[in-house]
Amino acid sequence: MIRIVPFLFFLLCTVSSACAVVEIRLAGGAPVQIRSVYLHDGIVFLSLREILPPLQLSGVWDGAKRLYRIKAAGGEILLAPGSRKLRYGNRSLVLKQPPRFFAGELCVPEEVVTTHLPRLLDLEITYINPDAAANHRDNFWLDDADDALPPPLPLQQIVIDPGHGGDDPGAISPEGVKEKDLTLALALRLEKLLKMEGLAPLRLTRDGDYVVPLSRRAGKIHGAPAENLLVSLHMSAWKSSQTHGCTIYFLPLRDNEENSFLLAQSLDAALQGAGVADCTFERVTLSPLNRTPFPAVLLELGYLTNPDEFGLLSSPDGQERIARALALGVKNYAAKRPRRITDVPVTQ
Ligand SMILES: [Zn+2]
């Protein structure tokens, strides 16, 4: 395979240079050809380095913050590789695809040129892409591109919140097993596993059987909000033993929603491998989520009143499987989460 790559590279470059390329023209200006055009998942990406000059814009890569700053009349436009957010002044919008690196250059989906820059900056842009599929360098670069994505900043803090405690037992199984005891046992297992991963400093909102006020379940921020996370552990009960299932709640807060949702997805994917039912996701304003200034999820892992789920949630083996899945979910989230550009101060 390794020997084929240089040949493919040669071939693709030859083919792409022989084809038509994308053209951009600002009203009153001459058309400019854009040669660094890439197709990924059916979306056309264009090199920022090439598209900005014809639009009479300039931009710089901010290596410290790992984002791209485009200077515009009304302030800065901020884009970050791997993040779907585009921010301009105090406003932000969500792109269909995040900017990505191709061949070492940060590229944006063509919607930035066809839709967002014209609207945001009131520009009249003519964009000509004669054949969206045929004339681009293809996915050949993607392995390199993924390697080129800068990794997210390391997490600064993981808060694990075992639900209930003290005179608040939470849900109770028909046999009298209390949610507060199971969530604590699970949290201690998860803490141990995450400590071994060495991802970030850990904090448990309680490490024994006592009441923790809601105000202290949220945690204090360390570093930027996006570098923290909170996982609140709960289990349910219901009058019918048939009722079962897992729900992951997260707060519909603009700043944290994207990362909270990614965390929920990552935990859900890992939990399925541990025998937990497919989790449904719900956006709710629920404590401690609404007191937490960083990405947070609350898991209702299953029903203590359902015999199968009770077996999984209460047995040492089941608890270990769930704890391992949660640790994996957190680890995957830590590796893949996008950088948040809303944390970055904007220079006007
Ligand atoms: Zn609970």
The answer to whether position 188 is within a domain reads: yes
- Angstrom distances, CA of residue 14 to CA of 8, 18, 141: 10, 6, 15
Q: How many angstroms is it from 6 CA to the middle of ligand 1?
A: 57
- Predicted confidence at residue 136, as pLDDT, reads 39
Residues 110 and 217 in one domain: no
Residues 283 and 259 in one domain: yes
Residues 6+ apart with CB under 8 A from 5: none
Q: E strands of the chain, at which residues?
A: 22-26, 32-34, 37-40, 43-47, 58-62, 67-72, 75-79, 85-88, 91-94, 100-102, 105-109, 125-128, 157-162, 202-204, 228-236, 246-250, 279-283, 296-303
Residues 329 and 209 in one domain: yes
| Residue 168 in tokens | 């608040």
Return the number of other C-beta atoms located less than 10 Å from residue 86's C-beta: 24
Q: How many angstroms is it from 233 CA to the middle of ligand 1?
A: 7
Q: How many angstroms is it from 236 CA to the middle of ligand 1?
A: 6
Residues 259 and 205 in one domain: yes
Residue-wise pLDDT tens digits, 11-60:
333 333 323 478 999 998 888 988 888 877 778 889 999 999 999 999 99
Question: How many folded domains does the chain comprise?
Answer: 2
Q: How many angstroms is it from 170 CA to the middle of ligand 1?
A: 5
The answer to whether position 25 is within a domain reads: yes
Provide the CATH number for the domain around residue 211.
3.40.630.40
Q: How many angstroms is it from 298 CA to the middle of ligand 1?
A: 9
| Residue 96 in tokens | 């269909």
Q: How many angstroms is it from 274 CA to the middle of ligand 1?
A: 20
Residues 136 and 167 in one domain: no
> Where does a domain end: 95, 123, 149?
149
Residues 284 and 205 in one domain: yes
**What is the spatial distance between Cα 143 and Cα 69, in angstroms, rounded to a whole number?**
25
Q: How many angstroms is it from 205 CA to the middle of ligand 1?
A: 14
Please provide the DSSP assignment of 314-328 as one string: HSHHHHHHHHHHHHH
Find the largest Cα–Cα distance for the chain: 78
- Predicted confidence at residue 143, as pLDDT, reads 33
Q: How many angstroms is it from 284 CA to the middle of ligand 1?
A: 15
Regions of the chain where pLDDT drops below 50: 1-20, 133-149, 340-348
**What is the spatial distance between Cα 337 and Cα 224, in angstroms, rounded to a whole number?**
14
Q: Which residue has the tokens 């900005």?
A: 52
Closest CA to 82 of 68, 96, 104, 99: 99
Q: How many angstroms is it from 194 CA to the middle of ligand 1?
A: 22
Q: How many angstroms is it from 271 CA to the middle of ligand 1?
A: 18
- Angstrom distances, CA of residue 289 to CA of 210, 221, 230, 231: 20, 14, 8, 9
The answer to whether position 2 is within a domain reads: no
> Where does a domain end: 149, 170, 189?
149
Q: Which domain holds residue 138?
A: 10-149
Residues 184 and 75 in one domain: no
Residues 57 and 174 in one domain: no
The answer to whether position 1 is within a domain reads: no
Residues 101 and 179 in one domain: no
Q: How many angstroms is it from 265 CA to the middle of ligand 1?
A: 20
Residues 109 and 173 in one domain: no
Residues 330 and 183 in one domain: yes
- Predicted confidence at residue 344, as pLDDT, reads 41
Q: How many angstroms is it from 159 CA to the middle of ligand 1?
A: 17
Q: How many angstroms is it from 138 CA to the middle of ligand 1?
A: 50
Q: How many angstroms is it from 227 CA to the middle of ligand 1?
A: 26
The answer to whether position 348 is within a domain reads: no
Residues 176 and 317 in one domain: yes
Residue 126 bridge partners (DSSP): 25
Q: Model pTM?
A: 0.58
Return the number of other C-beta atoms located less than 10 Å from residue 348's C-beta: 7
Mean pLDDT in the chain?
81
- Predicted confidence at residue 307, as pLDDT, reads 96
The answer to whether position 86 is within a domain reads: yes
Give the type of residue at 86.
L
Q: How many angstroms is it from 300 CA to the middle of ligand 1?
A: 7
The answer to whether position 5 is within a domain reads: no
- Predicted confidence at residue 38, as pLDDT, reads 82
**What is the spatial distance between Cα 299 and Cα 247, in angstroms, rounded to a whole number?**
6
- Predicted confidence at residue 343, as pLDDT, reads 41
| Residue 51 in tokens | 């598209």
Provide the CATH number for the domain around residue 97.
3.30.457.10
- Predicted confidence at residue 102, as pLDDT, reads 77
The answer to whether position 94 is within a domain reads: yes
> Where does a domain end: 100, 117, 149?
149
Q: How many angstroms is it from 171 CA to the middle of ligand 1?
A: 6
